[in-house]
Amino acid sequence: MREALRFLGALLLGLLLVGGAVGLGLFLLLQGEEALGRELLRVAGERFPALLFVGALFVLVLAALLYPLFLGYLAATRALGQEAEVLLANPAHRLRLRGPFELQALAGLINRLAAHREALEKEVEARVREAKALLEGERQRLAALIGHLPQGVVLATPRGQVLLYNAPARRLLGEGLGAGKSLFGLLDRGLLVHALALPEERFLAPGPKGLLQIQAVPLEGEGGFLLLLEEAQEGGGPEGATLHRLKDKLAGLKALVEALGSETLPEGLKPLLRTARATAEELSALAARLEAPPRAAEVRAEDLLSLLAQALEREAGVSPGLALEEEAKGLLVRADTYALVRGLAATLREEEEVFLQGERAGGLLRLTLTLPHPIPDPHPSLEEAVERAEGSLWREGFRLHLLLPAREAPRLPPREGPPPRAEVFDLSLLAIPEELEEAPLEGLLYTAFDLETTGLDPEKDAIIALGAVHLLGRRVLRQETFEALVDPGRPIPRASTEIHGLTWEMLQGKPRLEEVLPGFRAFLEDTVLLAHNGAFDMAFLRRAGVDQPPLVDTLLLSHLLFPDLQDHRLERLAERFGVPVLGRHTALGDALMTAEVFARMVPLLRERGYRTLGEVLRDCARLPLAGLRY
């Protein structure tokens, strides 16, 4: 409609100019020829309907001839402008010289400017590479050091977002671990907060793949923390099971010895009975020495009271009063601090006023909790925590007493000079906002994914390959990928095999889809989905039980950025943005290509005024293509 109005305005202006020129010419020719002028006016008056019809016909024919040319000129101009925008993301792209001569000349000039800009950018990049050479060497040494550590190592922000990790950490924490994801979804948040308060201690924590031993070390300032991970074994593991069987057999042997001792035995068997009793006692002592040590660490009495107060405020919503006698200061108290905190929080959850006092009692620390009313029954988890530390507890009216083993802390010589600074490397990560709709486009963690299927019908066909890669803002994390082939349990049509190259013989023996999906879900967790023509892929995933909106679709983004261009296929977008077309029609290859294309689309979206994910999705939803359903 806008183009039609512009054309009518241009046509009217042209007619006015032509009519004015004709009228001025007639006026000049008829100067001094009054009789001829009157005759012309008479004839024009008599033939006015015919002249009006001829004029209207002339205008219509002229408009019919000029309108396609006008629209073509406008479309060529718009297409030139939209394709020129690609140069913002890919300076190596060159405009095609097509359309009217003046547009070809303009495209040639733009290409020359783009070549000049590309040369300048290459020069800047060379200088930046030179300036970063030393820093890159340090980073490589750091990566090599972390990569060769047998322990799992995770570097995280103060909010628990992962910045860096090594292969052992990925093995211990599973597919859910990834740059930009939250550790709090994999490990207990309360335990991590508690471990940060005791950086020198190790704690047992349930992980996604089993029991872990963790140590959290806060970095200087607001630099986040370092998490060290190792496998741990519970008493129910292989060593615990062996010890349990040994103790069970020993109990049977003791029972047999006691039963025989109560019987009247011949004199010849009594030495044998004494030997059996001595052997049972020796085995009991050996089993006691083999018993796994309690999960307890030593913590200073001052730190213990401070930890308990902070944890009670966090877990139970009560702020206790504190008092620690002078003689108890400096004691090292043995306790599983996390279990003790959880037990006290469960016991005092309904309380509003608590007073906590610490006193020395020989080689023990006595913790006394005083309430304004009789003490409730201690929670079983509190009793277990105290028993694990080889302590005891009892109630006495308004007081609850806990006795915990303690010893004098060794006196250390004073440290000379300031403490050493932790070496902090230039690693940056934009935090994921709570409101996804208002999140900046370059501040999100995306998962670009693609599927290969046996056909085009989500109701009848099956998934045979999944590929995905993480994308942090505009940075493609090629070290964080997911790839799996799936046995569909049925033959694959030849037409589909000709596209992706997968046959049923190649997939037989591969995992079924239900075996692959848990790892794929973990890889997608806490990310924004990204795909090309994603409506097709999401139809298959929804049928498999995976539905995680929103979805950013590069096909819709291409229509949003380049509405007048005709070809929006993934390989054409890759060519336009200078992305190598590798592994086309393989799940991981297409996912990587989609990620690279999106990374180059972000600057163009920013130039168009899009800042947040919500703004982009709202405008994509208005496109006619967004209504497509599979």
Active site amino acids: 585
Q: How many Cα neighbours within 13 Å face the side chain of 456? A: 6
| DSSP at 205 | E
CA dist., res. 213 & res. 240, Å (int) = 17
User: What's the rounded Cα separation, in Å, for the pair 624 and 329?
Assistant: 73
Residue 227's φ and ψ, nearest 5 degrees, are -115, 125
Strands of 56-148, DSSP E: none
Which H/E stretch holds residue 546? none
Is the distance from CB of 369 to CB of 337 less than 8 angstroms?
no
The number of helices, as runs of H, and strands, as runs of E, in the chain is 20, 17
Phi-psi region of 533 (alpha: psi -120 to 50; beta: other; left: phi over 0): left
Give the amino acid at 84.
A
Tokens 């607001």 appear where? 222
Cβ atoms of residues 268 and 304 within 8 Å:
no
How many Cβ atoms are within 10 Å of 478's Cβ, its own excluded?
12
The residue written with tokens 């806060």 in the block is 218
Contact 338, 194 (CB under 8 A): yes
Contact yes or no for 357/368 (Cβ under 8 A): yes
| Cα radius of gyration rounded to whole Å, the chain | 39
Q: How far is CA 239 from CA 115, 236, 244, 245, 356, in A?
A: 69, 8, 9, 10, 39
Q: Which residue shows structure tokens 């006026």?
A: 27
Instruction: Return d(Cα 600, Cα 587) in angstroms, integer.
Output: 20
Q: Tokens for 572, please give them.
A: 């054409």
**Contact by Cβ (8 Å): 531, 593:** no
Other Cβ atoms less than 10 A from the Cβ of 164: the count is 17
